Amino acid sequence: MYKLILASALIVAVYGLPAAVQQIKNNNEVRILRQDQVNNPDGSYQWAYETENGIQAEEQGALKGTGEAVGIASVGSYRYTAPGGEPVEIRYTADENGFHAEGNAIPQPPAIPPQILRALEWIEAHPVKEEVVRPIRL
């Protein structure tokens, strides 16, 4: 039984090897066409780069806040071409409120169905009245 398991594992490993070797051979290096980086004494910074395969990215940031509540607020974007040929551009901000991205590749929620909108409007127009209940003394 152990020999069968060992033989099966060996066969799977041997058949998987050519795919891994092929993947390594197709890993082409991409030249960086432009790279800029500035780090200022006040804590602000700016960087940008562009590669020969069309990837572009940039970001600017600065310290925000005072005392122990100091953080970095950043604004940036990146662009590339998806495997299907569609251009992708994402813009983002990152600060004390978290990371927020927007762009054509970010999934969007579906529209709220009309029935749900009507129900929400009805709930807002008819708030629940709270009753004050007084304990009974025996």
How are beta strands 56-64 and 45-51 bridged, if at all? antiparallel
- Whether 42 and 63 have beta carbons less than 8 Å apart is answered as yes
Residues of the chain with pLDDT > 90, as a percent, come to 55
What's the pLDDT at 60?
A: 97
pTM of the shown model = 0.59
Where does residue 57 fall: left (phi above 0), alpha (psi -120 to 50 degrees), or beta otherwise?
Answer: beta
- Whether 49 and 43 have beta carbons less than 8 Å apart is answered as no
77 located within any domain: yes
106 located within any domain: yes
- Over the stretch 90-131, which tens digit does the pLDDT of each residue have? 999 999 889 999 999 888 889 999 999 999 999 999 988 888
Where does residue 24 fall: left (phi above 0), alpha (psi -120 to 50 degrees), or beta otherwise?
Answer: alpha
Residue for token digits 């209940």? 133
What's the pLDDT at 69?
A: 77
As for how many domains the chain has, the answer is 1
25 located within any domain: no
Q: With a cut of 80, say whether residue 66 has pLDDT above it.
A: no
136 located within any domain: no
* Structural domain containing residue 108: 32-123
131 located within any domain: no
